[in-house]
Chains A and B, each alone.
Chain A
């Protein structure tokens, strides 16, 4: 009799104390869906998990439908009051009105938000940007790619409301102009990551402002922007902390411009796909200047030869792990084994598809 009682007591301890405490530790390693499943397992587990605030710092609504409603519902819950990160990438049914609702109903829960991902939330407009940025004063990471409704007006609100942005992704926001770049340059001197992929209205003037004033930039993405010229490219040398640079499609980039870029000694990743004016001169300059290079694409550049490979091998043979020389008909020794001779740590031979 005592034994069964003891076992029953042990069972109780197991289900009410041991398992909840252990799963609280495990909880940080679980994706949102499974964490919610755990809440439904038992009230003991529910209680233990809900009281552990570090588990409830991120909300993930990626690809979910009815995302706007879900977001409002979730932020109304006590346990999400300190949420730091919200991800709505590819979410459906999220509109300006939901952001309005958030601001009126859940303002408290947004005060600690640091990262907001509105990628492909194509119904959000400048007004939505105004609303949500006015509710999140300490926002650091803001991403709204592939949204053509966002214009310079939206950016005006962003820089006015959120003074601490360090990571800004405007990829595909085709209506952004140099005015936005001016605003960004004037307001975010500590900006570290900037993605302007396909913002086709931008010109040298705007880019120069960024290069002059955002000297902390570590990552700059200018993918598919073909209207810039050396006038702007040369000033990339001002970015002493630059590690990641994507110039895919920079058809006006010359060896001169590239030689200036070579002054960014900390470059780790450089994409020169379709930079058709570049020759050995420019790439050799890069080889000499950027000795920590790990990722390099020369896809589609017909003007480079084996000479640049030799130069790269002299300085970066220990670090290069990705090298794309497909379409570089000027280079004769492009077989895998030949490349491995130059760069023994090479793992990836193809970047551009």
Chain B
């Protein structure tokens, strides 16, 4: 008589294991029921038949390193047991998330990669509690984020997912500026560097770009030592400003003003020193760093535009350098709400207006100008 069913098969012996591989290449064996608690792993096993052996181990997302995996599995191992009470689970969770900020962030990332929503919720809520009520400076401390940016960091191209023409133009400015920085670095080693002099003041440029109907007093006023030079230059450039003022009546948004400026620039002449920069611009255009479309190339060949862009970039740099510490300081205090108040006849008057701030201050101002409404 074959008593096949008299053999008692213990549950532990039937436990199956699956194989997981982390980004560092190491492979480990994990109880299947525990690992299946993660939807991502579940999918891999069921839909793609992976994980049954060392050879077809499930490759986990890169952000799941071995130590994070171990934590996630601890969580899964506890919670996948059905009989536990809500109180038990809550108590476990409270103890579980007691870790330093760095690990908490890594754990959030890992849980997200494994699509383990309850753990993502748990860790995110903990992180949210750490952020609530803090100033940007305090948040930087909590997450060990650097405060000062290098020139280069400030000029990294922005991702232009929506193909915003303003961002395209801004990235072009950045590329130009980065090139200039590199050039300066090179020259530093060769000779004593002479400060690049930009004759135009911030105010001039702003009124230039915005069509001259701006009270640009409030924009980008910095307390740097170049103030005196600015006053002198204002007289120099008044004539060109007048020409622009008459052509720009309407207030325009950022994009519009740039396009308008392109037309206006035909009146300007480029200086010989700008020609070499023109070459650089052409190089930049075809470099992989800048993101813009072919349709814009025509703009770049106009030397007058080069000059304008160069000046914008110079000024942009100055603003970044001079205003940054001040602006960041003022953020600790109560920010006065902005900016836009309609006067009697319906037109707008501005002190500092967010959406007409031209490209050159886009980056600098975006941090606080576009948060002033709060």
Residue A212 at the chain B interface, CB threshold 8 Å: no
Known contacts A25-B120, A71-B373: A34-B134 contact under CB 8 Å: yes
Q: Which residues of B contact A19 (CB under 8 A)?
A: 105, 143, 145
Asked whether, in the complex, the Cβ of A18 is within 8 Å of the Cβ of B109, the reply is yes
Closest residue of A by beta carbon distance from B336:
A66
Residue A205 at the chain B interface, CB threshold 8 Å: no
Closest residue of B by beta carbon distance from A79:
B370
Q: Which residues of B contact A33 (CB under 8 A)?
A: 374
Residue B125 at the chain A interface, CB threshold 8 Å: yes
Known contacts A69-B338, A77-B355: A38-B139 contact under CB 8 Å: yes
> Which of A21, A41, A66, A78 makes the CB contact (< 8 A) with B139?
A41
B-contacting residues, A280-312, CB 8 Å:
none
Known contacts A15-B146, A25-B120, A32-B374: A37-B342 contact under CB 8 Å: no
> Which of A21, A39, A66, A78 makes the CB contact (< 8 A) with B371?
A39
Q: Which residues of A contact B112 (CB under 8 A)?
A: 25
Stretch at the interface among B12-20, B85-93, B156-164, B242-250: B156-164
Closest residue of A by beta carbon distance from B368:
A40
Q: Which residues of B contact A15 (CB under 8 A)?
A: 143-146
Closest residue of A by beta carbon distance from B121:
A29
Residue B188 at the chain A interface, CB threshold 8 Å: no
Residue A153 at the chain B interface, CB threshold 8 Å: no
Asked whether, in the complex, the Cβ of B158 is within 8 Å of the Cβ of A47, the reply is yes
Closest residue of B by beta carbon distance from A67:
B337
State the main secondary structure of chain A at its contact with B.
helix
A34→B161 CA distance, assembly (Å) = 25
Residue A187 at the chain B interface, CB threshold 8 Å: no
A51→B161 CA distance, assembly (Å) = 8
Asked whether, in the complex, the Cβ of B131 is within 8 Å of the Cβ of A47, the reply is no
Residue A76 at the chain B interface, CB threshold 8 Å: yes
Asked whether, in the complex, the Cβ of B373 is within 8 Å of the Cβ of A73, the reply is yes
Q: Which residues of B contact A348 (CB under 8 A)?
A: none
Q: Which residues of B contact A347 (CB under 8 A)?
A: none
Q: 1/0 per residue B122-146: CB within 8 Å of A?
A: 0011011001111110011001111
> Interface range on chain A: under 10, 10 to 19, 20 to 34, or 35 or more?
35 or more
Q: 1/0 per residue A36-80: CB within 8 Å of B?
A: 111111110111000100000000000011100111111011100
A43→B161 CA distance, assembly (Å) = 16
A34→B131 CA distance, assembly (Å) = 7
Q: Which residues of B contact A77 (CB under 8 A)?
A: 354-355, 370, 373
Q: Which of A41, A43, A64, A97 has the most CB of B within 10 A?
A: A41
A38→B142 CA distance, assembly (Å) = 12
A340→B354 CA distance, assembly (Å) = 60
A-contacting residues, B322-374, CB 8 Å:
331, 337-342, 346, 354-355, 363, 366-368, 370-374
Residue A9 at the chain B interface, CB threshold 8 Å: no
A78→B120 CA distance, assembly (Å) = 29
Q: Which residues of A contact B372 (CB under 8 A)?
A: 73
Asked whether, in the complex, the Cβ of A36 is within 8 Å of the Cβ of B124, the reply is no
Closest residue of A by beta carbon distance from B162:
A78
- Number of B residues near A (Cβ < 8 Å) is 52
> Which of B120, B340, B371 makes the CB contact (< 8 A) with A36?
B371
A70→B341 CA distance, assembly (Å) = 9
Q: 1/0 per residue B43-85: CB within 8 Å of A?
A: 0000000000000000000010000000000000000000000
Residue B149 at the chain A interface, CB threshold 8 Å: yes
A244→B24 CA distance, assembly (Å) = 57
Residue B108 at the chain A interface, CB threshold 8 Å: yes
Residue A98 at the chain B interface, CB threshold 8 Å: yes
Q: Which residues of A contact B156 (CB under 8 A)?
A: 43
Asked whether, in the complex, the Cβ of B373 is within 8 Å of the Cβ of A74, the reply is yes
Q: Which residues of B contact A21 (CB under 8 A)?
A: 109
Asked whether, in the complex, the Cβ of B145 is within 8 Å of the Cβ of A98, the reply is no
> Which of A18, A26, A71 makes the CB contact (< 8 A) with B127?
A26
Residue B217 at the chain A interface, CB threshold 8 Å: no
Asked whether, in the complex, the Cβ of A37 is within 8 Å of the Cβ of B139, the reply is yes
> Which of B102, B149, B159, B340 makes the CB contact (< 8 A) with A73?
B340
Closest residue of A by beta carbon distance from B136:
A40
Q: 1/0 per residue A1-26: CB within 8 Å of B?
A: 00000000001001100110111011
Known contacts A41-B139, A69-B338: A26-B124 contact under CB 8 Å: yes
Q: 1/0 per residue B269-283: CB within 8 Å of A?
A: 000000000000000
Asked whether, in the complex, the Cβ of A23 is within 8 Å of the Cβ of B127, the reply is yes
Asked whether, in the complex, the Cβ of A37 is within 8 Å of the Cβ of B153, the reply is no
Closest residue of B by beta carbon distance from A37:
B136
Closest residue of B by beta carbon distance from A70:
B373
Asked whether, in the complex, the Cβ of B342 is within 8 Å of the Cβ of A101, the reply is yes
A-contacting residues, B138-178, CB 8 Å:
139-140, 143-146, 149, 153-154, 156, 158-159, 161-162, 164
Closest residue of B by beta carbon distance from A71:
B373
Asked whether, in the complex, the Cβ of A78 is within 8 Å of the Cβ of B164, the reply is yes
Asked whether, in the complex, the Cβ of A97 is within 8 Å of the Cβ of B342, the reply is yes
Q: Which residues of A contact B120 (CB under 8 A)?
A: 25
Residue B233 at the chain A interface, CB threshold 8 Å: no
Residue B260 at the chain A interface, CB threshold 8 Å: no
Closest residue of B by beta carbon distance from A78:
B164
Q: Which residues of A contact B180 (CB under 8 A)?
A: none
Q: 1/0 per residue A161-184: CB within 8 Å of B?
A: 000000000000000000000000
A52→B206 CA distance, assembly (Å) = 31
Q: Which residues of A contact B135 (CB under 8 A)?
A: 37
Q: Which residues of B contact A40 (CB under 8 A)?
A: 136, 331, 367-368, 371
A28→B145 CA distance, assembly (Å) = 21
Asked whether, in the complex, the Cβ of A70 is within 8 Å of the Cβ of B367, the reply is no
Q: Which of A26, A38, A47, A78 has the most CB of B within 10 A?
A: A26
Q: Which residues of A contact B143 (CB under 8 A)?
A: 15, 19, 23, 41
Residue B106 at the chain A interface, CB threshold 8 Å: yes
Q: List the 7 closest A-B pairs by CB distance, nearest first.
A: A40-B136, A74-B373, A70-B373, A66-B337, A29-B128, A36-B374, A73-B373
Binding site for B on A (CB under 8 A): 11, 14-15, 18-19, 21-23, 25-26, 28-34, 36-43, 45-47, 51, 64-66, 69-74, 76-78, 97-98, 100-101
Query: Besides the contacts A22-B108, A36-B374, A51-B159, what 4 more A-B pairs have beta carbons closer than 8 Å?
Result: A40-B136, A43-B154, A66-B337, A73-B339
A to B CB contacts below 8 Å, 18 in the list: A22-B108, A30-B131, A33-B374, A37-B131, A40-B367, A42-B145, A43-B153, A43-B156, A69-B337, A70-B337, A71-B373, A72-B340, A73-B354, A73-B373, A76-B340, A77-B355, A78-B162, A101-B340
